[in-house]
Structure 1
Amino acid sequence: MIELIIENAMNDLLRNIPSVTELLDSPAIKDLLISTPNGLVVEATRTSLDELRSDILAHNVDNINQAELIQIITSKVNLAYSTSLQSCINATGIILHTGLGRAPLAVEAVQAMAVIGQTYSSVEIDLDTGKRSQRVAAVEQKLTRLFGGEAAAVVNNNAGATMLTLAALSSGKETVVSRGELVEIGGSFRMPDVMKMSQAVLCEVGTTNKTRAADYEDAIGENTAILMKVHSSNYQITGFSQAAPIDDLIEVASRHEHVCVVDDIGSGALYDYAEFGIKDEPRPAQSLKAGVDVVLFSGDKLFGGPQCGIILGTKSAISKISKHPMMRALRLDKTILAALNATLDLYLSPDPTKRVPVLQLVSEPIERLQTRAVDLAHKLNQHPYVMAEAAEDVTYLGGGSVPNQKIKTWVVSIQHENLSHDRLSEALRTGVNPVLGRIKQDMFRLDLRSVFTCQDKQIATAFEALNNS
């Protein structure tokens, strides 16, 4: 008897399921159809009805709420337009945070991308002659003027630059690398794997902790093409260790006409950042001046431009790299090329530290950070349940650069009466304007070294929204 009652109730619910047409005629869905393709709304409606029918058959539903059903349909439609890519406030203190996109672009770079991206552009046409040109021509002269070198090439990132260079200069031939420099970077990207993909033959020399110039010399044979120096950007070997400097590799290669030197620097610093607490970061200009054949580095690290791999060196080497078939697969699109060009223009201006965002963050005086931290802590303390305190701290550059060098900073340490530090971090991270901080010593901290001054107010607004919710 009970089973019959349950079955009759279930059948009544099934009969009362609204039709697709009925739901599409509801005012809320009609409003949705004004700005949304009909097919997407119909699909969301049918899916929602199928789910409702399944729930009824599984005895998980005892009534049909049409308003709730319309809300479910609306959520499904909105989900189709959602994305995991959002603008965030980086309060972790890590300026070159790979997970947060590394270097933020200058306003001028973003404007240049919009101008070039929304219309046709002379990406591969010489407007003076009307003939086809190379897209690198847009930035080559500026790159060589800033960094040195006889010629330049640009590709989608530094990993691509490394693979292309090896393929063009060492395919089927040996590339000599120290065992202490066979690095792995993010995403399990390993130098030996790059060698294999480029068809270069890896020749390991030295030991993990010690490699001398003589090790490179002893490894050179008729099939040797490259002596390669790889910057160990995200780790450091200390103690009983030795690495052959780039000058020694150049000297060794000078005794062998068929061997060239490639310096894979990684971060691409144009200046000496010692005054900002960043020491001993290799610079492309130094390597080129010393006499390397090719130097490689990222555009979106210390240089502060868009994601790209920049290749500079001798005309002979760059010509081989540029003509390799892989270049077409790795070349920059017009918008990234425009952003790179605009960033180069900023470096050619009188004071790039005031205009390139990464340089702004790195060079922010510690006294200024202290003032901002005290002010922000005071504002946050106006909210109930929040206890905020400004404190001096240290942070790191990130992006695989100088991993052991500390940079002075000021933070706002926060405790919330009702939320653990993990829950507070989650609440701010998933808010309308995501704020990402760091947890240290059981305290949630906002590090202002990686926060632009204009974002301080946005952080206060995020806490206000958190309080209201």
Structure 2
Amino acid sequence: MDQVDPRRLIPRTNDLLALPAVREARTRLSEAVVRDLVRYAQDQARRGELAPADVEAAVLAAVAGRTATSLRPVLNATGIIVHTNLGRAPLSAAAVEALVAASGYVDVELNLADGRRSRRGAGARAALLAACPAAEDALVVNNGAAALVLATTALAAGREVILSRGELVEIGAGFRLPDLIESTGASLHEVGTTNRTHLRDYADALGPDTGCVLKIHPSNFWVDGFTSAVGLDELSSLTSAQGVPLVADLGSGLLAPDPHLPREPDVATALAHGADVVIASGDKLLGGPQAGLLLGRKEIIERLSRHPLARAVRADKLALAALEATVAGEAPPVVQSLHADPGELRRRTDRLAGALGVPVVPHDGRVGGGGAPGFPLPGWALRLPEGIAGHLRTGEPAVLPRVHDGACLLDLRCVPAADDGRILEAVRQALAALASAGAGRAG
């Protein structure tokens, strides 16, 4: 008798689509997504990776675990507050509520009282000006790089941007700010040296072709030793006398000084020292959504907002709503993590360590996102076997630890206290999976 080709036993597409659980999935997922899940299971069977009798179960498991987004929530146990790979700042409850409310129709550019068009993002602008009275005006765009592009384009396209060689910064993923600036049509006029730049260097460079002077705060590093840099107060005396705009790119997003971060610059101080425009990010130390903030002199901000590029880089309604709620609402998670009570962190860590029977070790957290480079945030961590890290990352919930010096470390600084129970269960599941994998190799 001829042997039946196993591929003929693979369930038909229409039969799989007719399964009750699959029909339910088609009400919350697109038809294309559901069919791809079905097709993937069938293809596995055709390649011999899955028995034809197991295709139906594979499809049911796939549709049950699939949501409309591929992004997974992660518990951040690294101790790094502004974690770029995890989307930087987690939003506050107020910001999440505002974001959800703004997902429908909202008066983002409408005055409901008279029915006329209004200024876009007026609420976020008002919140920023209330939080930073040193600024005369504010403009919100879609990220920090866009804010720098807009400023240099509007002020210096076809002209020169004067910048210290010690501030030719490269940040994450090989992203170089000098390349970004030159892409606007402006040319860089570098002054000084890597470690020392003086006021006379800027003075010698100023001329009829100068569009603006740019001061960039270094991210992810600092220069120590035989160094010299020009402060904004000195620089502003020079630029104001020449009628040249002074732009300060701070990056990290502090609106006011924070005693926990004594070396980190802030918008209010930069404006007080004479900057005409200050650029900052919304999703770093401010603790809000991705956004580029431009605060400063009214005349300059209006000039930037009227430039055609402002339309191309404007923030959407969701970012504007979340930003306003971040600034006007309760302290966001970033601020809470930065100012976490050391005693409470130790008590939480000890409780979990006792339940798991693992040691507690000292561990320094970090601000992250280019903020306060090298500045430690003393704390503690659970010390676990290094091999557990992969199981934690792929478990439910997903937990991101720090792998260091042959160990897997869990720092609770950025984990809400309400999630300690989830961390405990995740570690127990990961330890069991690690033990099972070890037993399987031994067998």
Normalization by structure 1: what TM-score? 0.85
Aligned positions of 1:47-446 closer than 5 A: 48-49=41-42, 52-53=45-46, 55=47, 65-74=51-60, 77=63, 81=67, 83-117=69-103, 119-147=104-132, 148-257=134-243, 259-274=244-259, 276=260, 278-346=261-329, 352=330, 355-381=331-357, 388-415=358-385, 421=386, 423-446=387-410
Task: Write the deviation string for residues 297-343 of structure 1: whole angstroms up to 9, x where unpaired.
Answer: 01111111111111011111111110111111211111111111111
Of 122-131 and 424-433, the range deviating more from structure 2: 122-131
Contact 2:25 2:64 in 1 (8 A): no
* CA 456–131 in structure 1, closer or farther in 2 if over 3 Å, else same: same
Distance 2:283 2:401 in 1: 22
Query: How many pairs does the alignment contain?
Result: 429
Over aligned residue pairs, what C-alpha RMSD do you find? 2.3
| 1:32 paired residue among 18, 22, 32 | 22
Q: Using the alignment, how far apart are the partners of 1:12 and 1:312 within structure 2?
A: 70
AA of the residue aligned to 1:425: A
CA contact (8 A) 2:250 2:279 kept: yes
Q: Distance in 1 between matches of 2:159 and 2:380?
A: 51
Instruction: Look up the match of 2:436.
Output: none
The Cα of 1:67 is off from its aligned counterpart by: 2.6
SS in 2 for 1:432: coil
Matched-pair contact (CA < 8 Å) for 2:79–2:414: yes
Listed one character per residue, the Cα deviations across residues 327-371 of structure 1 (whole Å, up to 9, x for unaligned) are 11211111111111111212xxxxx5xx32112111112222211
Seen in structure 2, the aligned counterparts of structure 1 residues 242 and 114 have a Cα distance that, compared at 3 Å, is same
1:198 deviates by 1.5
SS at match of 1:463: helix
1:136/1:379 Cα in 2 relative to 1: closer, same or farther (>3 Å)? same
The one-letter code matched in structure 2 to 1:356 is P
Structure 1 465/206 Cα, relative in aligned 2: closer, same or farther at 3 Å? same
Q: Give the SS at the match of 1:139.
A: helix
Q: Which moved more, 1:286-295 or 1:75-84?
A: 75-84
| Corresponding residue SS for 2:117 | coil
Deviations along 1:31-63, whole A, 9 cap, x unmatched?
31233266655565456545544x4xxxx58xx
State, as a whole percentage, how many aligned pairs show the same letter: 38
* Matches of 1:194 and 1:24, distance apart in 2: 49
TM-fit CA distance, 1:408: 1.1
Mind listing any 5+ residue stretches in structure 2 that lack a counterpart?
Answer: 434-443
Partner deviation per Cα, 1:426-462 (whole Å, 9 max, x = no partner):
1011101011111222121111222222222211121
Q: Residues 444-455 of structure 1 correspond to what in structure 2 (within 5 A)?
A: 444-455=408-419
Q: Displacement, 1:99?
A: 0.9
State the Cα distance separating 1:272 from its structure 2 match. Answer: 2.9
Distance 1:269 1:31, change over 3 A: closer
